[in-house]
Structure 1
């Protein structure tokens, strides 16, 4: 009886909600892309500047489902169109059926894409062998309304990826010789520094050696700090010279912060919650003397930020020289989960504000974090710190710190651990499996 009356209160915990939209949909097909186009924070910036910012006066619906009996296959369907009835703009619909060889390895797959616009039917396939680091992929448009270029007949590629190096080439089998290759890239990681070069022959006469034309080359250098896990902060800064005619500078920062919880619906031992804040900046400046229309400036920039308050609410905003946008997304973690988003876009030229709406239904990506996460421990665990009211002090640093700061990732699900074995465009553990057995209560 004495032990029952003198029972110590449970230790304080910090709620760690799952990331709102993780892993990104764009990461599913990264093995079909050049690593140069995904590394240097480009994938993270794309998600920050585009996700949940729906087109003004348009709606967008997305359904992602997979059968319970066969987790190797899934279906993703989208429908988008104008909110008002415009005779010249129709509703666009498409669907993607995907088969994945290994549930835990998204690098080997095959999918079929159908759409009411070009391409009407397209097949994509990729095979990657982690033991040797080599992979092969192909994109074959089966049905097109009109085939104009050699790319419309198909693209094939080979790649090599290790923890420090990524190289690859894409070719068009039905193209004439002077159009080969379609692209080639080489990216290397040296500590925190990543450098890369890409060749895309688009300029020059047929009888010239296009690799001598600098307009067909792009190069980039990036500096990144962070473990690669979404539970730890990260920072990436990049400088790029694209096709010797455009200079790009960008940075992306992922911040993990803790704030106090005053929620009567939570248990008394819950003292804080983890929030995720992302910042991004992108600057583009043309270097050539080519004349452009008055609507296309020689230099442009955009700034964006997002804040995930908990597992249900996400707020995003971005500002540019021509327009500003604000987006709010609300998500329910049911099975399947539902996400509703609304975005407002302010056009600085016309002075008008327009709205866009989005709806997502999915059962492919499940919650990957526990709310009472065991990775967050007391810095000085003793009985004094277990008392209520002194765990969090106003104006002082929280007494709870994540064990992952010391490099302990053993307790994390696989998709949340740093992925340094392959340089293919990983960002915050994107090479992990989208699903997990860890659930959110």
Structure 2
């Protein structure tokens, strides 16, 4: 009885919710892409500018499931149609069936893509050997309504990747034209600086002219701080000259902050919660003298930001040259998880506002909802630590420290760890 009276109060704790979508789905197929197209903050900016922003007056649904008996396979099916659907309009639907050899390694896989669009059936495959840093991949459209370009006959690629260097090339072995290679890239990382070039032959007819034509080359340089784990803040700034015709400046920052919990449903020992704030912009300016349509501006700037208040709510907004969009997403962490989002788009040309809706069901990514001490010694999902050495004050918002700052992610759930150290 005495032990019950003198029982110490429970230790204060901080909630550490998972990100809505981590890792991003695009990271599962990054071995099919040029490293040049994914670095310099491009993957993070793509997620920031596109995820949960539905097309105006459209409804979309995505189902992402994997069987319990065989987690090596999964299926992603999407359907999109106008809200005010009419019989003469087309419902866009597709499905992706994927097999992955290792649950902890997304670099070796094979998938089949089926759709009711032009690419009716397509197969993609990738194999990567981290011990040697060598990989090969292929994309093969099996059924098409009409094969027009050389790419419609299939693409093969070879790559080398390490922590500081990545290079590779793609080829079209079944092409009717002699275009070799289809593309090539070289990217190197030196400390916090990343630089790269990419060759994509599109201009020039005579032998050797394509290599000499600067419009077939792109180059970029980026400065990055932080890891790719969502539990650690990051900063990326990039400059790119795209095919000697367009200059692109981009910036992306992922911020991790703590705030007081003002939720009466939480226990008294919960003193704070982690929030994730993302911000990015992209400026594109033409630098050549080519004549373009009057409807296409020579310079465009788009800005986007997102705020994840807790494990259930995400607010996003973006402003572009032609429209502005605000999106609100709600996610329930059932198994499978359920996400509903609504977007409101303001078209500044016509002065009209329209909404889009989306529903997602998923059990592919199973991030954990954690509790940690306010000093942010990151824990396994089932462990709770005492909160020591921190006095909560107004305006005090510490960043992640301790193990995460030291780069020790071994005790984190697989979904919250940084990407493998492959450039």
Could you tell me which residue of structure 1 aligns to residue 349 of structure 2? Answer: 349
Normalising to structure 1: TM-score of the pair?
A: 0.90
Q: Shift of the alpha carbon at 1:292?
A: 1.2
SS at match of 2:119: coil
Match of 2:8 in 1: 8
Mapped contact 2:257–2:398 kept (Cα < 8 A): no
SS in 1 for 2:47: helix
Partner of 2:75: 75
User: Deviations for 1:216-275, whole angstroms, at most 9, x for unmatched residues?
Assistant: 000000000113321111000000000000000000000001000122221211100000
For structure 2, the 5+ residue unaligned runs are 379-385
Pair 1:241-2:237 in alignment: no
Indicate the residue corresponding to 1:282 in structure 2: 282
Count of paired positions: 416
Q: Is the 8 Å Cα contact of residues 31 and 126 (structure 1) preserved in structure 2?
A: yes
What's the counterpart of residue 438 of structure 1?
A: none
Distance 1:372 1:32 in 2: 37
For residue 34 of structure 1, report the CA deviation from its aligned partner: 0.4
Aligned residues: CA RMSD: 2.2
**Could you tell me whether the CA contact under 8 Å between 1:41 and 1:252 is conserved in 2?**
yes
Whole-Å separation in 2 of the counterparts to 1:128 and 1:408? 25
Instruction: Using the TM superposition, give the Cα deviation of residue 116 of structure 1 relative to its aligned residue in structure 2, in angstroms.
Output: 0.6
TM-score normalised by length of structure 2: 0.93
How far off its partner does 1:376 sit?
2.1
Q: State the match for 1:192 in structure 2.
A: 192
CA-CA distance at 1:294 after TM superposition:
1.5
Structure 2 residue aligned with 1:21? 21
Q: 1:114 to 1:398 in 2, by over 3 A?
A: closer
What corresponds to 2:268 in structure 1? 268
Deviations 1:339-394 (CA, angstroms, capped at 9, x unpaired): 1110011011110001111110111111234244697259xxxx9969xxx94222
Q: 1:373 to 1:418 in 2, by over 3 A?
A: farther
By how many angstroms is 1:123 displaced? 0.5
Counterpart CA distance in 2 for 1:128 and 1:384 is: 43
Aligned partners of 1:375 and 1:404 also within 8 Å: no
User: Comparing 76-85 with 170-179, which one deviates more in the overlay?
Assistant: 170-179
Residues 1:317 and 2:317 are matched in the alignment: yes
8 A contact 1:13–1:376 mirrored in 2: no
Report the CA distance shift for 1:319/1:100 in structure 2 as closer, same or farther (over 3 A): same
Name the structure 2 match of 1:327: 327
Change in CA separation of 1:75 and 1:377 when aligned onto 2, cut-off 3 Å: closer
Partner of 1:365: 365
User: What is the CA deviation profile of residues 37-66 of structure 1, one whole-angstrom value per residue up to 9, with x for unaligned ones?
Assistant: 011100000000000101111111100010
* Mapping of residues 129-168 of structure 1, within 5 Å: 129-168=129-168
The answer as to 2:44 corresponding to 1:44 is yes
Taking the aligned partners of 1:89 and 1:38, their CA distance within structure 2 comes to 34
Tell me what 1:219 maps to.
219
| Counterpart Cα distance in 2 of 1:111 and 1:245 | 35
Counterpart for residue 411 of structure 2: 411
* Aligned residues of 2:377 and 2:404 also touching (Cα < 8 A): no
SS at match of 2:44: helix
1:204 matched to which residue of 2? 204
Counterpart Cα distance in 2 of 1:417 and 1:292:
45
Structure 2: distance between partners of 1:318 and 1:287:
25
Decide whether the 8 Å contact of 2:134 with 2:161 is kept in 1: yes
- What's the CA shift for 1:276? 0.2
Moved more, 171-180 or 296-305: 171-180
Report how far residue 151 of structure 1 moved. Answer: 0.9
Structure 1: stretches of 5+ with no match in the other structure: 424-441
The 3 A distance-change label for structure 1 pair 81 and 403 is same
Deviates more, 1:86-95 or 1:285-294: 86-95
Seen in structure 2, the aligned counterparts of structure 1 residues 26 and 225 have a Cα distance that, compared at 3 Å, is same
2:382: which partner in 1?
A: none
In the TM superposition, residue 402 of structure 1 has moved relative to its aligned partner by 5.5
Distance 1:174 1:412, change over 3 A: same
CA distance in 2, matches of 1:104, 1:408: 17
Deviation per CA, 1:129-153: give whole Å up to 9, x if none.
Answer: 1111100000111100001112111
Alignment deviations for residues 169-227 of structure 1 (CA, whole Å, 9 cap, x no partner): 00000225641110000000000000000000000114443111100000000000113
> What residue number does 1:106 align with?
106
- CA distance change for structure 1 residues 402 and 325 in 2, over 3 Å: closer, same or farther? farther
Determine the C-alpha separation between the residues in 2 that align with 1:186 and 1:399: 34
Structure 1 residue 412 displacement after superposition: 1.6
Assess if the C-alpha contact under 8 Å between 1:14 and 1:400 holds in 2.
Answer: no
- C-alpha distance 69-286 of structure 1, shift in aligned 2 (>3 A): same
Residue 135 to residue 395, structure 1, CA distance change in 2 (3 Å): closer
Distance 2:401 2:66 in 1: 37
